[in-house]
Structure 1
Amino acid sequence: MRTMVISQLQLKHITRWTFQDLILLPFRPKGSSSCHLFSSQNYQNKSFSIVPRQKVPLLPCDAAFCCRHFCIATHLFDKMPQWDVREVHFEFLADCIKLSLKKPNILTATIVHCAALKIGVLAHLPTSTSLLTLYSKAGNFTSSRVFFEDIHNKDVIVWNAIISASLQNNCYKTAIEFFKKMVKAQTRFDSTTLLLMVSTLLHMKNFDQGKSIHCVSIKYMMLVDISLCNAFIDMYAKFGDLNSSECLFEEMEYKDVVSWNSIMRGSLYNGDLEKSLRYFQRMSFSGETADHVGLSCVISVCSSLRELAFGQCVHGQGIKLGYMDSSRVSVANSLISLYSQCEAVEVAETIFGEIAYKDIVSWNAMMEGYASNENIHEVFDLLVEMQTTGPFQPDIVTLTTILPLCAELMLSREGRTVHGFAIRRQMLSDHRPLLNGLIDMYSKCNLVAKAELLFNSTTERDLVSWNAMISGYSLNKYSEKAQNLFKELICSGRNCTSSTVFSVLSSCNCPNSLYFGKSVHCWQLKAGFLHHILLINSLMHTYINCGDLTAGFSILQENSDIADIASWNTIIAGCVRSDHFQEALETFLRLMRQGPLFNHDSITLVNVLSACANMELLNQGKTLHSIALKSPFGSDTRVQNSLITMYGRCRDIDSARKVFKFHSNSNLCTWNCMISALSHNKESREALELFHCLQFKPNEFTVVSILSACTQIGVLRQGKQVHAYMFRSGYQENSFISAALVDFYSNCGRLDNAAQVFRHSQKSESAWNSIIAAYGNHGNGEKAIKLFNEMCKSGTKVTKSTFVSLLSACSHSGLVKQGLMYYECMFEKYGIQPEADHQVYVVNMLGRSGKLDEAYEFTKGLQCSGVWGMLLSVCNYHGEVKLGKKVAERLFEMEPENVGYYISLSNMYVAAGSWKDATELRQSICDQGLRKCAGYSLIDVGLG
């Protein structure tokens, strides 16, 4: 390596030829094998060797200005005697240092250092302190430390400068070490030193040492410094000890605006919003004028409390104080958040438009305001406007505002765009919340594979990442993966939170997960996670979903002292979803007996009305209707929609019409409920008319309901139009719509179209059931059985509806032997308990094949009127008057007001020539006031 020996007299030429080639680190003193920093002490050695380093990049424009002036100064130095240089140019050097401190740059710091060394003013402590600070602000903390060690006779200002430099460069432990050295060197510290130490300990979250610094400040009577007191107020508040902050604040004899700001922000930080407002009022009464920091703080409090009126008063005060100009943009940003939170987004828009010089916070606040008010299109429009018209680009806050919208609305395309932008800007490497937001977005958009890839490619995962991935698996029905990932998390030794428990419990949604759910329950007991009512409710929900109602009710009983209305709703809703409707009603009655403290809410009414609808309990439904009208929830849209559904299921279509007519806030769901109720009650023509008057864009539920109506009256033309609309709207992947289309085409005699729809649809459970029923209705029982076998081989779950379709096909095709075989193996092989719908087709199979005695023996032990009605129909078919009369008498006891049974027996008498019995029965019908609905036929006039 080439070295040069430079004498003291040659120093004046250094600045002329080495500023582009020379960095002061390192140099080698004569006779030494180690390199040191260029310093005043080395300068006194008269000569040293300099090791040139590689070229440095060109100076930025701000540093170039300084260099140009230093070069001019260097030429002046060359023309003057050396001893005159110090006296003439010391003030000029000081000005250059001040200029450099405004826009620090490592090369500028080096040049200033050289010039100071040449002039010989490094012994001047203020100059040395400024140079130390300049190196620190330029990002070269190492040079600051070495330069500090070379300073002789260090005073408190120098020590404060190096501590401040350590703090500025995030070297908090180093700052503490310097403070210890300062004390050891018996240098008397001042309040600024303690102020720097408080800031350091805040960053390190070291509360104990922070209290020690407070004791030191009391011992040396330094609390007369208001800035130090303010720092302690802020420190105690941020460490969660608001009481100590308040005591210190009250003990202050003199308070400035920063004192008030500190205690207000401390109260806000600790969640005591009302107290923060009270301090603001006290400040106003004390005569202290609030600044933009205090106004921003109190506006944030008003935003959290939704105190619009108080916030408007603060807004007016801000205008009077002149804080709405461009230099106080933080106040305007806080006001945007306030008005957005109070649903006055138009006012927020006005304030945003009036800001002359918006910063990135302004744009983010407005986007967050749009998002909180569900103005989704405006959010994305504003995002585009920010990128095209302003100098700002989306930052981390912008992306974390956009991602939840993409997740909740399943905007996968926009979410992927955000992901790509974050990758291009290299935002993912050091920001885990953004990464977690992307995992959550992909999971909620049903792109769990992408979420999994993102999770697995991340080395530094936090607990939120694990929770998001577990929740994503659970949400997308990957229960086993969610449970395995939870086990991996536990084995890793991380401390879980309640969010982790919520995520994994939601994966326990079937009887197969009961054992794992019990294991999580045991783990919760050991980990102490069962003190929160939300976790208790989640555990009850898990047991009910897994089919263990007894355990769910036991947990409710054990925690009855802390149970809330959500606990009761969890049990009721779980029973309804598990088809335990009677248990849901009984639980509701228990809830009503708890007194006014446990009054019902809209969720309770919706679930109990659903139970009444499924059990067709009209009287109980009317009682619930009256309860709803007497409570504040009678006008709730969800409750009114549930009432329409309940009346429709209970065949009280007139009441359903009345609720729909007087519905105050109808939505698409309301219209869907009414169309479905009309279709369920065979009012298909009215359902079609209502569909033509629909005030909203139809969705999948609308399509299914209207297809059911078209199926009932066989209007092929309108059904095809609905089919076309389904394709235009992209609903062809919906399994329920595919099943409804199969039913529709089958009932309209177009089995070929039904089969074609099935071939191109997702092979869901409902689609399989519909196609099996379609072939059965068309007398092709063998094909129906073949499809059933294919369904089993495909792994699709066989349900009770599947066996209804299969037994119906066997009945229509006369496949008695096969039908009885499937009926007998329903429970043993498939775990499905036979119900009335299955028994009806068994009676029909036996009866139509002439096995009336077997059909009667099968029916004798049953209490379902539908099964007995089918046996009566079979007796009528075969003209078995004697058995038919016996069956009819049983039906008259079970349903005395069903005129159909009387008509069937009368027709049987007529067919057998028993006119006298037929006449008497007809007279009995008239005496009871029973009337048979007139039959009618429909034809579709138009193109088929």
Structure 2
Amino acid sequence: MKISWHHMRRVAEFVLDQDSIPSLFKACASLRNLRQGISIHASVVKKGYESYTSISNSIVSLYVKCNMLGSALGAFKCLTIKDSVSWNTVIHGLLDNGVSNVGLRYFVEGRCFGFQPNVSIFVLVLQACWKQEAYHQGMCIHGLILRGGYINNLPIQNSLLCMYARFHDVKYAEKLFEEMCEKDVISWSLLVSAYAQSGQAVSAMRLFKEMVSLGDSCILDGVMMVGVVQTYGLAADLRQARSIHCHVIRRGFMADVFVGNTLIDMYSKCTDIDSAHLSFDEILKKNVVTWNTMLTGLINNQQYSRALHLYTSMTSTTADMAVDEVTLVNLLRLSRSMEHLMWCRSIHSILIRKSIMSNLMASNTLLDGYAKCGRMDLSSKLFERMDEKNLVSWTTMVAGYTHCNMSRDAVTTFTHMLVSSQERPNTATILSLVEACSMSTTCLNQAKTAHNVALRNELSNDLEIGTALVDMYGKIGEVSTSRKIFDALTEKNVVSWTAMIGAYGTNGYAKEAVTLFHEMKSTANVKPNRVTMLSVLTACSHGRLVEDGLSCFRYMLEKQSLHPCEEHYSCMVDLLARAGDLESAMEVIQSTLINNCGASAWGAWLSASRRNYACDEMVEQVASQLINLEPLSSSSYVLARNALALANNGGVCKEEQNKLRLAMKESGVKTVHGYSLVHVE
């Protein structure tokens, strides 16, 4: 019943007795009339009615409903006798208003005083447990529910399912689900979600099919369909994805924009971007999430030109729809992928105008965008101005410096992260650090530091980090350490084997590289790829193991999946030319197996001709071909000039050398001088 303000005042002034006061507070709470409620509270205190538990409970309830939690707690603490209504009111108010940590504390305290929670309190407390990541406390409350006889209550069972799903504890969620006598659509969707969040997409799909087989006893809704479609997207199985799309159409959910958005995301994750675009076109009333989902899918599938076209359509056809933070982050990702500095700066200005720079995702993406465009000076300025930094921010800076070949700055930034922040490095951070240390091929101390960081953070056995460490030590010449790390890896993939073979090859251990390659073929459960073969052929070339090199190359020709490419043929040219067989090397170059031989093959042949004194006509021909392929490379001119100087058994081809000098001058190519660097102690 609606009560007027003036009527309440008259009642408060003339009929203020202990029986009518709770009704007055209830009326104030219904009208959200805090001012009048405080006035009545003052009158209650004057008349000494505060000692009545029913009146104090109504005061607490008033302040809770008016979102005055501090006043509610103050009134609660003044209660001389607290009954179940008192505890229920204050705990419900705290949990319902999102103060989960305090609500859980009062729940535990109330239990010590014999408080008996009701169903709504149990539901809110279980929700607070997963919000606070209090797994042990949630298990204790599960036990309390069992002892109290509430376990067969459907809302409580669903709340328990939700808690276990949030904690990724599929085992307990499955057991609870099997014990439920009654299940609704929420129960089924929660277990499907539990499977999906734990990465068990196959189990989630199996459960969904079981639910559908029940027929009309379990009616699907839009929320359930969104969760199911997301699960099929995680599986990244295109056939299954099309199957669930048909189910969505049969059930009549295509008009639901949320389901449509999820279909776009599902097809994008299945790398079927055309089907994603068809789903996008079928949505009649698109919202900003629809456009952002399609934009994200195009960028994730490296369809950059189509993504740019979509954004142009978005801004031109939806004038009433403003772009949001997700749109701008996607545009930053697009400009980063295309290494377009002007776009990064333009979006940066939009972020400032819209006051979105406080968004960490946007700031971190902008940091990465500037780094990918080679402007670490802009990344550094932005990083220093950021009020809040997380692990992604620091990792982005370390990776950015590494990408721009600024290894010293990358190591320094990582050191500052350890000193000035509480962030603990993860796999991505350490991988960027190890890559930075790999670039300083003469600095063993930095490499050992990176290794120690991985050990302290218990990440040295991680496959990616272990492989990166093998590669790092190989690049700085510590082959024995590379082998120790390689042998210690509990799991090895093709990248790990290739890294170790490459470490042997680049350090002159050609026979060891070939032996390891044969060991990989015979004992490992992985098959060599093209990179592996390139590492083996390079090792054979440097070690002049002609027979082993030819054997490995024949192995490539026999395997259809290892069809040789330009780099492999270049290695074979280098192998034969180094061994003095220039004619066979030239036959490989002119072989019909390759349509267009690269500059590396011609350069390898020309370099070997200096040691084997090839005829001047052939040298002139190869030198001309090399210059045509790399007209702006100073090393090509130098190599051609030196080869011509030694052609024809030491005779000097001055005319050809003069032509090269003139061509080099006309092209504006300057000789880049090399240097060697050795660290002592």
Maintained 8 Å contact 2:602/2:625:
no
Structure 2: gaps of 5 or more residues: 13-22, 506-512, 542-547, 577-584, 610-618, 646-653
Pairing partner for 1:431 from 153, 165, 188: 153
Partner amino acid, structure 1, of 2:496? S
Secondary structure of the structure 1 residue equivalent to 2:439: helix
Measured after TM superposition, the shift of residue 685 of structure 1 is 0.9
Name the CA distance, whole Å, in 2 between partners of 1:638 and 1:314.
Answer: 46
Q: What is the Cα deviation at residue 728 of structure 1?
A: 4.5
1:673 maps to: 396
Q: What's the counterpart of residue 230 of structure 2?
A: 506
Q: Structure 2 counterpart of 1:906, which letter?
A: V
Counterpart residue type for residue 641 of structure 2: Y
Q: State the Cα deviation string for residues 395-450 of structure 1 (Å, max 9, x = none).
A: 655554454465467665554444444445444x2233333333344344443233
Change (3 A) 1:609 1:858: farther
8 Å contact 1:846–1:852 — kept in the other structure?
Answer: no
1:600 alignment partner in structure 2: 323
1:492 has 2:214 as partner? yes
1:361 counterpart residue number: 89
Match of 2:622 among 883, 887, 895: 883
Residue-by-residue CA offset, 1:356-386 (whole Å, 9 max, x unaligned): 64513323533565656xxx6x666555555
Q: Are the aligned partners of 1:776 and 1:813 in contact in 2 as well (CA < 8 Å)?
A: no
Q: Which residue of 1 aligns with 2:641?
A: 909
Distance 1:726 1:499, change over 3 A: farther
Give the paired residue count.
Answer: 612
Q: Which of 183, 199, 210 pairs up with 1:461?
A: 183
Write the mapping of 1:121-200 to structure 2, written as runs, cut at 5 A.
none
Indicate the larger mover: 546-555 or 328-337.
328-337
Q: Once the 2 structures are TM-superposed, how far is the Cα of residue 463 of structure 1 from its aligned partner?
A: 1.7
Give the deviation of 1:678 after TM superposition. 0.5
Q: Which amino acid aligns with 1:769?
A: V
Within the candidate set 378, 384, 394, 1:661 is matched to 384
Runs of 5+ unmatched residues, structure 1: 1-258, 261-281, 300-310
Residue 512 to residue 392, structure 1, CA distance change in 2 (3 Å): closer
* TM-aligned CA deviation for residue 633 of structure 1: 3.3
Matched, 1:644 2:384: no
Please give the alpha-carbon distance, in whole angstroms, between the structure 1 residues aligned to 2:416 and 2:73. 36
Whether the 8 Å CA contact 1:807–1:819 is kept in 2: the answer is: no
Deviations 1:741-780 (A, max 9, x none): 343344344555555555665637xx54134322233131
How far 1:293 moved relative to its partner? 2.3
Q: Which amino acid aligns with 1:570?
A: T
* Partner in structure 2 of residue 737 of structure 1: 465
State the secondary structure of the residue aligned to 1:849.
Answer: helix
SS in 2 for 1:598: coil
How far 1:603 moved relative to its partner?
1.1
Q: Is the Cα contact below 8 Å between 1:336 and 1:365 reproduced in 2?
A: yes
1:303 counterpart residue number: none
Distance 1:391 1:668 in 2: 45
Q: Deviations over 1:714-745 (max 9, x none)?
A: 55445444544445545467544344334334
Shift of 1:291: 2.7
CA contact (8 A) 1:295 1:331 kept: no
> Is 1:770–2:496 an aligned residue pair?
yes
Match in the other structure for 1:612: 335
For residues 463 and 182 of structure 2, the distance between their equivalents in structure 1, rounded to whole angstroms, comes to 40
- The structure-2 alpha-carbon separation of the partners of 1:575 and 1:286, relative to structure 1 and needing over 3 Å to count, comes to farther
Contact 2:332/2:347, CA 8 A, preserved across alignment: yes
**Shift in Å, 1:806:** 5.0
Deviations 1:24-50 (A, max 9, x none): xxxxxxxxxxxxxxxxxxxxxxxxxxx
The higher-RCO structure (CA 8 Å, 6+ apart) is: 2
Q: TM-score, normalised by structure 1?
A: 0.57
Residue from 514, 531, 550 that aligns with 2:255? 531
**Structure-to-structure mapping, 1:316-715, within 5 angstroms:** 316=38, 319-320=41-42, 322=44, 327-329=55-57, 331-332=59-60, 335=63, 357=82, 358-367=86-95, 369=97, 371=99, 385-387=109-111, 390-392=113-115, 397=120, 400-401=123-124, 403-404=126-127, 407=130, 412-427=135-150, 429-493=151-215, 494-509=218-233, 513-559=237-283, 561-694=284-417, 695-696=420-421, 697-700=423-426, 701-714=428-441, 715=443
Partner Cα separation in structure 2 for residue 887 and residue 430 of structure 1: 81
- The residue type equivalent to 1:909 in the other structure is R
Residue 847 (structure 1) aligned to one of 552, 560, 573: 573
**Letter in structure 1 aligned against 2:296:** A
The share of aligned pairs that are identical, in percent, is 18
CA 1:933–1:510 in 2, change beyond 3 Å: closer, same or farther? farther
Query: In 2, distance between residues paired with 1:313 and 1:870?
Result: 85
SS of the equivalent of 2:237 reads helix
Which entry has the higher C-alpha Rg, 1 or 2? 1
Aligned with 1:596: secondary structure?
Answer: coil
Q: Residues 550, 360 of structure 1: CA spacing in aligned structure 2 closer, same or farther, 3 A cutoff? A: same
Say if 1:572 and 1:588, in contact at 8 Å, map to a contact too. yes
Matched, 1:293 2:20: no
- RMSD of Structure 2 on Structure 1 (CA): 4.2
The answer to whether the 8 Å contact 2:431/2:468 transfers is yes
TM-score, normalised to structure 2, is 0.76
Residue 917 of structure 1 deviates from its aligned partner by: 5.3
Please state how far the C-alpha of 1:638 moved relative to its aligned partner: 1.5
Matches within 5 A, 1:214-293: 259-260=1-2, 283-284=4-5, 291-293=24-26
